Structure 1
Amino acid sequence: MLATTLSEATSAYENLLSRTAAARVTAPPVSEAENERQIRDWTEARISSGDPRVIARAACVAERSGFPDEALSAYQYLHDTGHRWFSAPDRTPLIRLMEEQGRVDEAVHHLWGEDGDPDFVIRSAVADLLTRAGRLDDAVAQLRRSHDFSGVARLYEKAGRNEAAATAWERSADSGNRYALDDAVRVLEQEGRAVEARQLRRYGWNQDGTLAEPWTCPAAVTPFDGAEPLSVL
């Protein structure tokens, strides 16, 4: 017989969980709930249980039932307690839901952390998040804060701003990226600027970031200027 009340649905669901060791996140049959208050009460009670598995299920129920604040609270708890969902910080339910709710700045702050020096994966995740929100300039500013000019160049390339990308690759080369020149050449070739690409590949950049003009090596000069070298005893 199908459960007809939220209480019966919950009891049946928890009995099922007690008989299986599966860790699947499955929402209880909340469609039989009498009203939204019961769903909220059900969710909040499980979030306050302190059991990560129960909280994970409750977070899914809250999100599917249209209670994003409760879901975010649960996801935040799971994050703080090291739940396995949060082993890849850039792909967590918490960040996804923040983004879906338009709370991009909160998601950025959460990802970036308090020390202000995240690793490459997090920097890229923040930049991608801001770019998806239509905030390319903010994404670039975040990467420049950590001197990730290669990341800046890649963002500009994705946005089709190859001129800015080539400049960013030059900054990346100044920062020690020995492959940046090849990337800058590639961008120029994609722009149809084959002559400039060849010039850059052969002669590099000037100190001010402009393309170096063609140059030749001076002729070799003998150190003895025509005189006989001194004999070495």
Structure 2
Amino acid sequence: MRIAEADPTSETAAVPDPAPSDLTTRARLRDAAIECFAAEGFGASVRTIAARAGVSAGLIRHHFGSKDALRAECDDAVLERHRTLKTEGLESPANAMAQLAEADEHGAMLVYILRSVQDGSPAGASFIEHLIADAAAYSEQAVASGILRPSLDPVGRARLMVTQSVGGLIVMLSLHPEIDLTDFKTVLAKTFEQIALPSIELYTNGVFADSTYLDQYLAYVEAQSPNAQSRTEQS
């Protein structure tokens, strides 16, 4: 699942502190960049982003200074939106269903996340680590509120859920090359169509009928521990 990306540009002008009157413009430019990065990849140039926003490249340089700084702000915004959606969705089933009904606006965010995974750069890797850290935090909040069951390894569970979810989406979209990643609404609709029910069912009911496999694995881990090996040698 790769789309040809435009050649990046490098702009390095200094960034002045935005005046209060600039904040709305800055947010609008950032949101246009999120959509552009999602549609074309992180190789999209500042000029391409400016054209999408209907402004000059100089205005983007005025607000952000460089494309790296712009991307960092886009990362922060996408992470914050994703964190908010997940936190609200785990507060109650009603909130989660309401998000499904209003999901059209989140398509660019989903594709942006997939682009970050594919990117392979330090910025992309850092973005995924932030996703995992966020997942661990809001999962523990959900455990405290009784929505999720506790985990023997909360951070490990969060890492597994994030990597499996994002990786599964990449595989699914790779199997459907007819889906245009620039059509954010269709990407989201097809995603929910294929994964919503099986995902909710899996998280609700699990897969194994009992704890036999978990019990055997924990016994295996205990047997491999240094303390267990030391006791065996002493006996």
Q: TM-score range by the shorter chain?
A: 0.3 to 0.5
Length-normalised TM-score, structure 2: 0.32
Greater relative contact order (Cα 8 A, min sep 6): structure 1 or 2? 2
Length-normalised TM-score, structure 1: 0.32
Q: Normalized per residue, which structure has more helix? A: 2
